[in-house]
Structure formats: structure tokens, C-alpha cells
Structure 1
């Protein structure tokens, strides 16, 4: 049996700002946009792995008003988990992050005790994004 990740959902309060971040800093490509009931879902993929999708959606999209408010409150506190990515050009990612409006650099590229070199960022919605250097 074969299994792989197909999509990871990331909650964002400003889809345009989030698209700018995920497109310009880690270098993903927008592959689709879907609108429904005043909200939109934007899907991005890395060019090297087009079958893996990162789906950006609003806290209230597809949820009840009460659940949407709860998710929005967690997003505002930065409590919705993290996104972990891998790049063959960590220094380039670091340079693009430093030059991009709305990106908070939490940790500059650092050699970690668990054996990777990575950077920690917050996207414009406050989600923690860790990007590690790939081995190859």
C-alpha cells in the first residue's frame, strides 16, 4: 500500500497577504482558487512536488458562526500549530523573508541539536512556519 500527503490546510485571515507570503518566500505556485459564500480557498504547491497542496482558508469559511469565531480567536493568539517545510535554498528563503512585508523572522537560520538547519517565521496571519535545509 502506498500513501502520501495530499493537502495541508492553513487558516489565514487575509488570503491575499498569505498568498504573497507562501508564493514569494518559500516559492510556491498558486494552483487553484475556489470561492463560496463570500470566502475563498487558495491552493498552492511547490513546483518540485505539485501533488502536495497547501490550502489557505479563512477561519469562518465552511464553519458555523460560533466555530468560526473560536478558530479566529485561536488564529489571533497564534495557537493553530505550525507548518514545516523543506527547501534546497535556506539562505535564499531567509533573504526573501527579510525583504517581505508582513513576515516576522522568529529565528534566523540556525543549526539545531536534532540535526537540521532551519529558520522560523510567522506568516502574515501569525502561523509559525519552520523551513529546514534539505540534505540534497
Structure 2
């Protein structure tokens, strides 16, 4: 089994796609007005409008902008460079400045316009680097 994607449901898909394109520097592919995704070598970040909930059983299945438990994480080449780039973008809500975590990743944490937490990280300890080289 392989993880294929993480999907965010939002009431403002254009705003959220634009945010992630700016934050990651990567383009999204629009499949419909209600669904777009960004593919990476390890999976995809998909964004769907609240209108897509009808296909999954109705509006009660998910609530846009109400996540309080998931962090969307991106492995980046140089987290400190990414931090400098992000800190120059208006509207980026940095929650945690560059920090080296006990498990060996250097990371920053910020929120997207819907309040979802996003982590950009780079493995810096030998153990963390080894963990990501094995993948």
C-alpha cells in the first residue's frame, strides 16, 4: 500500500491553491473548478472545494477550515533558505521560527489561509538524514 495524497477541503479553492503554489513554488494541475492537485515524487497534495463533499455523502462528511490535528509536511533541501523566502511573503503566518527538533529535523511551522498547519523541514542530524536516504 502507498499513500497517494492528502486532500484539503476548502470553501475558497482558488485562494488555497494560490497560497500553496506560492509557498511551495510548485504548480497545481486543475482537473475541474472544484479540484486541483500538486504531485511530488512521494505523493500529492489535493485541494477540493466544499462542493466535492456531495460525492462523499454530503456536507457533514468534512468541514472546511476546521483542522486542529494534522500537519502537512514538506521535505525541503534547505529549510533556512525556505524560511527566508517565506518570511518575505505577505500573509504567511509563521507559528514556529526555525527550530531543530529532538528527532533531527530543522523545521518551521506556519498556517495556510484555512488555518491548517504546514511544516517545511530538512533532516540535519546524521540519524534523520539516514532515515530519509533509505526511502
TM-score (norm 2): 0.75
Quote the residue 1:57 is aligned against.
48
Quote the residue 1:41 is aligned against.
35
Match of 2:18 among 20, 25, 44: 20
Match of 1:132 among 114, 121, 131: 121
Contact 1:85/1:131 (8 A) holds in 2:
yes
Query: Deviation at 1:80?
Result: 5.4
- SS of residue in 2 equivalent to 1:43: strand
Cα gap change, 1:83 to 1:91, in 2 (>3 Å): same
CA RMSD between the two structures:
2.3
Stretch of structure 1 that moved more, 120-129 or 14-23: 14-23
TM-score (norm 1): 0.75
- SS of residue in 1 equivalent to 2:28: strand
Q: How many residues align?
A: 122
Gaps of 5+ in 1: none
- SS of residue in 1 equivalent to 2:104: coil
Query: Deviation at 1:10?
Result: 1.7
Contact 1:32/1:44 (8 A) holds in 2:
no
